[in-house]
Amino acid sequence: MANLLVRRRNDPFTPLFGDWMDDLWNRNAFAAMPRADMPGVERALMDVVDRNDHFEIKVDMPGVKKEDIDVSIEGSRVAIRAETQSTKEEKEGERVLHTERFAAMYARTFELPADVTEAGAEAHYENGVLTLTLPKRAPLASRKLTIN
């Protein structure tokens, strides 16, 4: 488990309510951290908005090229995955004193409150933000069976 430094502030409400609010925030902070069973995978931060006839989803994935993003939809389940890495090239005749590399893997799987359809679905990636527009599947009309 990672060593985390938690800075406490003087809170006038702590004597009244205890530390339950801090505990709540800390639990939510841990939920956004990479899972131990998936080393190196970051949980992509996202917003989901219900726009009546479709869902609009914005996912932060800085440093990723759009061709490295994989989105799959199955019913109401959406899975997003992206992997990126960059290296600095050395030029002949240069003496490299310091170099850094960047590598990241983002993954997010979630369920929407309604099934979506791929017909009319759109994906747009700009400035490190993936925007998905996913139309809701029309509800199936129920049908009454005639009993013979």
One of 2.60.40.790, 2.40.100.20, 2.60.40.10, 3.50.50.60 is the CATH number of 42-89+98-135, namely 2.60.40.790
> Is the pLDDT score of 91 beyond 50?
yes
Q: What is the pLDDT of residues 131-142, one digit of tens each?
A: 999 999 887 777
Closest to 133 in 3D by CA, of 46, 53, 23, 18: 53
Closest to 84 in 3D by CA, of 99, 65, 71: 65
> Is the pLDDT score of 38 beyond 90?
no
Contact 123, 132 (CB under 8 A): yes
Residue 105's pLDDT is 87
* Mean pLDDT, all residues of the chain: 76
pLDDT band at 49 (very low <50, low <70, confident <90, very high): very high
Boundaries of every domain in the chain: 42-89+98-135
**What is 94-119 written as a DSSP string?**
---S----EEEEEEEEEE-SS-B-ST
> Is the pLDDT score of 25 beyond 50?
no
